[in-house]
Structure 1
Amino acid sequence: MHCLAALCSRLLMLNRCRPSHLQQDQIMLDIEKYKEIAGVAFTADARNSNAPQGSYYTDPEIHDLELKKVFGYEWNYFCHQSQVPNAGDYKTGEVGGHAVYVIRGKDGDIRAFYNVCQHRGHELLQDAQGNARVVVCPYHAWTYDAEGNLRGAPKMKEVEGFDRSKVKLCQVRCEIVGGFVFLNFSDDAPAFREMCPEFEPIITSMVAEVDKLQFVKQKNYDIKANWKIVTENFLEAYHVEFSGEAHQALGEIIDIETYRFNISGRTIEYTAGGGADDVLPYDKNAEDAFTNTKNAPFHQCFLFPHMTFSIFPGTNMMFVFNMRPNGPERTAEEIIYFTLDGSFSDPTETAEEYVSDSLNPEDISLVEAVHRGLKSKGYQPGRLMVDPEMKEAWGEQFVHHFNTLNLAALTR
Structure 2
Amino acid sequence: MDSNPLSCDLDQRDGLTFSLDAKYYTDPEIFELEKEKIFFRNWQFIAHGSEIPNSGDYITRKIIDQEIIIVRGQDDEIRAFYNVCVHRAHTLVRGDGNCGRLMTCAYHAWSYNLDGTLRNAPNYKHVEGFDRAKVRLSNVRVEIFCGFIFVNLDREAKSLRDLTGDLDKQIAAFVPNHGDLRFLVEKRIEHDCGWKVSVENFNECYHCLVVHKALREKVLELDTYRTATEGIYIRHFCEGRAPDDSMYRFDPAQGQNMGAFFIWPNVAIVSYPGGIVSTRHFIPINGRQTIYSYRWYTDGRASDDDILDMAQKHYDTNGVEDAAVVHEVQKGLESRGYAQGPLMIDRGLTESSEHGVSHLQRLVLRALAS
Query: Common fold, TM-score beyond 0.5?
Result: yes
Q: Identify if the C-alpha distance between structure 1 residues 220 and 130 changes in structure 2 by more than 3 Å, giving closer, same or farther.
A: farther
Contact 1:72 1:96 in 2 (8 A): no
Unaligned 5+ runs, structure 2: none
- For residue 390 of structure 1, report the CA deviation from its aligned partner: 4.5
Which of 279, 285, 288 lines up with 2:250 in the alignment?
Answer: 285
- For residue 287 of structure 1, report the CA deviation from its aligned partner: 5.9
Which of 382, 390, 398 lines up with 2:341 in the alignment?
Answer: 382
Q: Distance in 1 between matches of 2:78 and 2:31?
A: 30
The residue that corresponds to 1:194 in the other structure is 162
Q: Distance in 2 between matches of 1:168 and 1:343?
A: 44
Contact 2:208 2:216 in 1 (8 A): yes
SS of equivalent residue, structure 1 residue 394: coil
Identity among equivalent pairs (%): 33
Q: Identify if the C-alpha distance between structure 1 residues 168 and 44 changes in structure 2 by more than 3 Å, giving closer, same or farther.
A: farther
The residue that corresponds to 2:67 in the other structure is 99
Q: Distance in 2 between matches of 1:45 and 1:318?
A: 41
Deviates more, 1:72-81 or 1:125-134: 125-134
Structure 2 counterpart of 1:285, which letter?
A: F
Unaligned 5+ runs, structure 1: 8-32
The residue that corresponds to 1:360 in the other structure is 319
**TM-score under structure 1 normalisation?**
0.85
- For residue 210 of structure 1, report the CA deviation from its aligned partner: 0.7
The residue that corresponds to 1:300 in the other structure is 260
Residue 34 (str. 1) matches residue 9 (str. 2): no
Q: Identify if the C-alpha distance between structure 1 residues 148 and 213 changes in structure 2 by more than 3 Å, giving closer, same or farther.
A: same
Matches within 5 A, 1:53-202: 53-202=21-170
- For residue 131 of structure 1, report the CA deviation from its aligned partner: 3.9
Residue 275 (str. 1) matches residue 241 (str. 2): yes
Q: Identify if the C-alpha distance between structure 1 residues 339 and 147 changes in structure 2 by more than 3 Å, giving closer, same or farther.
A: same
Q: Distance in 1 between matches of 2:103 and 2:125?
A: 20
Residue 319 (str. 1) matches residue 278 (str. 2): yes
Q: Distance in 2 between matches of 1:45 and 1:300?
A: 32
Contact 1:124 1:138 in 2 (8 A): yes
The residue that corresponds to 2:310 in the other structure is 351
Q: Deviations over 1:372-397 (max 9, x none)?
A: 1111111132211111x252121111
- For residue 44 of structure 1, report the CA deviation from its aligned partner: 6.0
Structure 2 counterpart of 1:115, which letter?
A: N
Structure 2 counterpart of 1:159, which letter?
A: V
- For residue 214 of structure 1, report the CA deviation from its aligned partner: 0.9
Q: Identify if the C-alpha distance between structure 1 residues 114 and 317 changes in structure 2 by more than 3 Å, giving closer, same or farther.
A: same
Q: Distance in 2 between matches of 1:398 and 1:207?
A: 23
Residue 43 (str. 1) matches residue 11 (str. 2): yes
Contact 1:216 1:343 in 2 (8 A): no
Q: Distance in 2 between matches of 1:365 and 1:343?
A: 30
SS of equivalent residue, structure 1 residue 355: helix
Q: Deviations over 1:258-317 (max 9, x none)?
A: 4333211111111222113333222x223645xx5xxx6211111111011111213x32
RMSD: 2.1
Q: Identify if the C-alpha distance between structure 1 residues 410 and 299 changes in structure 2 by more than 3 Å, giving closer, same or farther.
A: same
Structure 1 counterpart of 2:320, which letter?
A: P
The residue that corresponds to 2:171 in the other structure is 203
Q: Distance in 1 between matches of 2:132 and 2:304?
A: 51
**TM-score under structure 2 normalisation?**
0.94
The residue that corresponds to 2:230 in the other structure is 264
The residue that corresponds to 1:241 in the other structure is 209
Contact 1:213 1:338 in 2 (8 A): yes
Q: Identify if the C-alpha distance between structure 1 residues 270 and 287 changes in structure 2 by more than 3 Å, giving closer, same or farther.
A: closer
Q: Deviations over 1:155-198 (max 9, x none)?
A: 11111111111000011000101100111111221111112224
SS of equivalent residue, structure 1 residue 74: coil
Q: Distance in 2 between matches of 1:401 and 1:390?
A: 16
Structure 1 counterpart of 2:368, which letter?
A: L
Contact 2:243 2:252 in 1 (8 A): no
The residue that corresponds to 2:294 in the other structure is 335
- For residue 257 of structure 1, report the CA deviation from its aligned partner: 5.0
SS of equivalent residue, structure 2 residue 137: coil
SS of equivalent residue, structure 1 residue 254: coil
Give the count of matched residue pairs.
369
